[in-house]
Structure 1
C-alpha cells in the first residue's frame, strides 16, 4: 500500500480545504499597492510618481493614466538597459540576480528579462498552489510517490557579472527545493547538459531507471523526447518504458493542436493539466478537471490588466496603439479576446507580454491563451487570430483523420495578388488542394472578416505539406532546441522566404 503517497495526498487535500478563494478585485488591488509601495523609491517609481498614485482616490485608474504601456523594446531601452550599465534601483529595488533569456518566436537575439528573488518566490508559491490543486483531480495515492520529468532548458546558467542568465525553465529548475530533488528527473547532472540533443540522449539511456508519473514541458519538445525514448528502447509507446505515467502539465501554448500526435505516443490517455509559466512569471494554472482553462494567479506578485484584442488597437509589429483602452479584472467579459498586460515583482510595468487570452469563466477568473499579438494576421482585413487558425487545423485533423501538430503561414503575393500560404506539418498523403479547400471553408465559416476578405483582396489559399520534424529543425537552426522555444505561427514575407528556402534545402 502506498502509505507515503496517501499521506501526501491527505496533506494536499487538507491544505486545499483550508485555503480560501480570494476576492479577485480586492486581491489585485492589494498586489498593485504592494508593487507601488515597494518600487516607489526606484528610478521608475520616482519618474512616474508612485507616491502620488498611492495617495489617489482610485489607485488602479490613476496607475493606468500615469504609466504608459511598455513592450520589451520600450522597457529595455528606457529602463532595463540601465541594469546592464551597472545601475541599481531602476524599476525594482536593488539588482536582479537572474535574467531570463527569451528568444520568443521572432528568431531575433534573446530578450533579457530581469528575474528578482521576489519573482523566484512568487513562481515557487504559485507552483505550490498548483500542487495543492491536484487534490481536485482523481489521482490515486501512489501517483504522489512517482517521479516527475521536467523537460526545460539547461540548468547550467551562464554567469554574467553579478547575475546569472538562462531560460526561465532552467532558472526555476535550478531553484528546486532540496525536499523535491528526489522526485525531480532527469536530475541535476543531466539537466545541466547544454545541448538539447545530448540531454535527450542521456534521458533516453536512463529512462528505464526512473518511475515517471508526470511529465512537464512544451508539448512539441516533449513529443520529440518521448519519440527518442521509444526509439532507443525499441518499444511501441512511452507507457512500455514508464507504465505509471498518469499526468502531463503543458505550459505556455495551447495543447489542443498537439493532442492527436501526443496521444499517439501513449498506450492509454493521461490527465493533461495546463500551466502558464512565461519568462515574466507564473501567470495561471489549471486547478480543476473537466476544463482546459487556467485560473489566474491573482494574489502572488502579478497585477493584470486587459486591452480588448481589436485590429484598431494593434500596431503592425504587435505592440499596442497609444491610448488603447484598458479593462481591469472586475470588468472583463467571457469569450472576448484580450491583450494581456502585467506589472510584477521583477519590475515589469504595464508590460505587454505578447499573449492574447480570453476568459472562459469570469466568476472563477479562468482563462485560455488564444494567441500572440504578433501572430494576428490582418494584412488584407482577414483578422485571423491564432485560436481561429488552431480551430481550423483541428477541424482538418478530424475531417481527414490525420495529425497536424505544427503549422506556419504568411500572406504572400502571387502575381500581384494576396494569398495565404500555409505550411502544414503532417505525414498524411491528402492532396494539398483538398487540404487548402477544407482549410479555407473552415475559416470562412468561423470568421466573418476572413469571409469578406476572401471575397475581395485575399484571392486564395495555398497549402504545402512538410514533415513535422521540419519545424523543430527550423527552430534549432534559428535559435535552439528545447526549453521555452515555440514555433512562430505567422511570418512576414521576408522571413517566410527564408523559411521556404530552409524547407527546400532540407527536404529529402
Structure 2
C-alpha cells in the first residue's frame, strides 16, 4: 500500500467515532441542530417573518412555519439570484445548484451557502470515503485516482455584480473542492466542468484513460456512456483492461437495481463493489454504511433537520409532518428538510422508507410526483424498478433506460400502462417480458393487482422496445444531457411517453 493511501486511509477512519455518536444519540443531535438553525436564521427576512426568535419547540415551529415547495420559496430565491442577501440565510449566497427539474419541466435553482458546502456536501464526500475505508481497511483507493462524472456551471446572469454562479450540484462541489481533493481526482477541472456534453464525454474518456482510476462516482446512465467510450477509445474488450485497479462505483440519483446486470457486463470483475449515496441539489442525506446492503445511514449532523410527511398526507392542503422520533418502519414518507442554506421546511419531492430505527437507515422509494395513479393503482418508482428487474432476471434481458405512463380510458377501451424500454440485451420474447413485468407488479402492489383482476380497470401493459440511443437522443432534444439529469421513470400523464413516441415516428 502506497504512503499517500496509508495516510489518507488513516485520516478517513478517524471520523467514524463521530458518526457513532449521532447513531447513538440521534434525537439529541437533531434537537441541538434544530435550535442552532433557528438561532442562525432568526434575523433573516424569512426568520423575522415567522418570528424565529419566539420559537422554543419543534411543535411551535411546525405550527408557525408552513411546509414550503420550491414554488413558494421561489420569490426569495429569485431575489437572492438578483444579488439580495440575508433573505433566507445570513451568510452570503454565491452559488446556486441547478436541479434537473425532474418534478416539472423547468429547472430549479437551490441556494448553496458556504456552510452547506463545508458541513454538508464536502462532509458527505469525506464521510463516504471514511465509511468505505472502514468497511475495507485494505483498500488501495488512494493509490490511484477517483473519476467523477459531473456537470457544468456558469455565471449567474441575473446578478448585476456578476459574482454569483449556478450549475449542477456536482459542478458546484468540484469548483469549490480543496486542493487535496483535487489532487486525488481525474479528469482536469477544466474538462470536468465543460458544458457541451458530447465534447465532454470524448475529452473525459481521453484524459481518464491515461490515469489509474480506482473509483468512479456519478449517475449510472452517464457513467455507462463514459465506460463504453473509454473501452472504444482504447480498443479493449472491457474496462478492467484499461483500469485494472478499479474497485468501486459510488452511485446515486437513481435506483441502481435496473442497471446492476449492465454494469456487471461492462465491468466483468467479481470483486467490483457498488456503493450507494443519497445526495441531491438540496444536500447530502444518506450513505450506505454496510457491505452488500441496499440501505443508507441517514446522516444527522450535516446541518440538515429532518421531518417526514406520511404519504397519505402529501396531497392535503396542509399536510402534517412528524419529527424523526415518530417515524415507523417500512412506511412511505415524503422528506422535508430545514438546512444551513436557508431551506425552511422544504419538501424536496423524494419519498423514503425506514429500514432501521437504531440507527436510522433508509431506502429511497420514489418521487412525490413520479408515480402512476390514474386508476387508483398507486404505482411508485420502487414498484416499477423492482418489477422490471424481475422481468430482466427471468428473461435474460438487460435494460438501459425506461419510462412509463398511463393509457387513459376511452370509449369502448379500458385503461392500462404503456412502457418504453431501451434494452442493451433484448429478451427473446417481448410478450413474455411484459407478462412477467405485469405479474411482478401485481405481486408487489395490491392496488395494481386489484385493478388488473379480470382486466377490471386495467389491461395488460403495452411494451415498446426502442433502439439503443433513443433515450440519449430524447434527453438531448430536451437539453438534458449529462450532469444530474436523469430519465423520469414514471409519470401520471403522457407528456414524456408521447414525446418519445412522437420523436420515434419522425425518424
Deviates more, 1:10-19 or 1:45-54: 10-19
Match in the other structure for 1:318: none
Any residues of structure 2 matched to 1:131-146 within 5 Å, and which?
Answer: 131-146=129-144
In 2, Cα distance between equivalents of 1:473 and 1:262: 21
Any residues of structure 2 matched to 1:204-353 within 5 Å, and which?
Answer: 204-269=205-270, 270-310=272-312, 313-315=313-315, 321-353=316-348
In 2, Cα distance between equivalents of 1:334 and 1:436: 32
Match in the other structure for 1:16: 16
Offset from partner CA, 1:127-177 (integer Å, 9 cap, x none): 222222123222535322210001010256556433111111000011111
Distance 1:395 1:197, change over 3 A: same
Q: How far is the alpha carbon of 1:5 from its aligned partner?
A: 1.9
Find the partner of 1:108 among 82, 105, 110: 105
Task: Say if 1:136 and 1:288, in contact at 8 Å, map to a contact too.
Answer: no
Task: Say if 1:294 and 1:366, in contact at 8 Å, map to a contact too.
Answer: yes
After the TM superposition, list the runs of 4 or more consecutive aligned residues in structure 1 that deviate by more than 6 angstroms.
none
Q: Does 1:401 align with 2:403?
A: no
Deviates more, 1:354-363 or 1:429-438: 429-438
In 2, Cα distance between equivalents of 1:297 and 1:376: 27
Q: TM-score, normalised by structure 1?
A: 0.93
Report the secondary structure of 1:243's partner residue: coil
Match in the other structure for 1:88: 85
Q: Does 1:361 align with 2:356?
A: yes
Any residues of structure 2 matched to 1:59-78 within 5 Å, and which?
Answer: 59-77=57-75
Q: How far is the alpha carbon of 1:118 from its aligned partner?
A: 1.1
In 2, Cα distance between equivalents of 1:459 and 1:76: 41
Distance 1:503 1:314, change over 3 A: farther
Report the secondary structure of 1:181's partner residue: helix
Distance 1:407 1:88, change over 3 A: same
Q: How far is the alpha carbon of 1:292 from its aligned partner?
A: 1.8
Task: Say if 1:6 and 1:141, in contact at 8 Å, map to a contact too.
Answer: no
Offset from partner CA, 1:22-52 (integer Å, 9 cap, x none): 2111111111111111111111111111111
Q: How far is the alpha carbon of 1:104 from its aligned partner?
A: 2.5
In 1, Cα distance between equivalents of 2:59 and 2:388: 41
Report the secondary structure of 1:264's partner residue: helix
In 2, Cα distance between equivalents of 1:457 and 1:15: 54
Distance 1:107 1:351, change over 3 A: closer
Which blocks of at least 5 consecutive residues in structure 1 are unaligned?
316-320
Offset from partner CA, 1:389-439 (integer Å, 9 cap, x none): 111001001100111232111112364431101112214143333222221
In 1, Cα distance between equivalents of 2:283 and 2:15: 24
Q: How far is the alpha carbon of 1:505 from its aligned partner?
A: 2.8
Q: How far is the alpha carbon of 1:371 from its aligned partner?
A: 0.6
Q: Does 1:199 align with 2:194?
A: no
Task: Say if 2:154 and 2:166, in contact at 8 Å, map to a contact too.
Answer: no
Task: Say if 1:83 and 1:95, in contact at 8 Å, map to a contact too.
Answer: no
In 2, Cα distance between equivalents of 1:139 and 1:505: 54
In 1, Cα distance between equivalents of 2:432 and 2:139: 49
Task: Say if 1:376 and 1:386, in contact at 8 Å, map to a contact too.
Answer: yes
Any residues of structure 2 matched to 1:456-467 within 5 Å, and which?
Answer: 456-467=456-467
Q: How far is the alpha carbon of 1:88 from its aligned partner?
A: 2.4
Match in the other structure for 2:47: 45
Distance 1:190 1:10, change over 3 A: same
Distance 1:103 1:2, change over 3 A: closer
Task: Say if 1:147 and 1:210, in contact at 8 Å, map to a contact too.
Answer: yes
In 2, Cα distance between equivalents of 1:69 and 1:18: 31
Match in the other structure for 2:434: 436
Q: How far is the alpha carbon of 1:94 from its aligned partner?
A: 4.5
Offset from partner CA, 1:331-361 (integer Å, 9 cap, x none): 2112211101111111111111111111111
Match in the other structure for 1:387: 382
Q: TM-score, normalised by structure 2?
A: 0.93
Task: Say if 2:150 and 2:193, in contact at 8 Å, map to a contact too.
Answer: no
In 2, Cα distance between equivalents of 1:224 and 1:141: 26
Distance 1:83 1:289, change over 3 A: same
Task: Say if 1:253 and 1:369, in contact at 8 Å, map to a contact too.
Answer: no
* Superposition CA RMSD, Å: 1.9
Task: Say if 2:307 and 2:324, in contact at 8 Å, map to a contact too.
Answer: yes
Q: Number of aligned pairs?
A: 494
Distance 1:214 1:157, change over 3 A: farther
In 1, Cα distance between equivalents of 2:366 and 2:276: 15
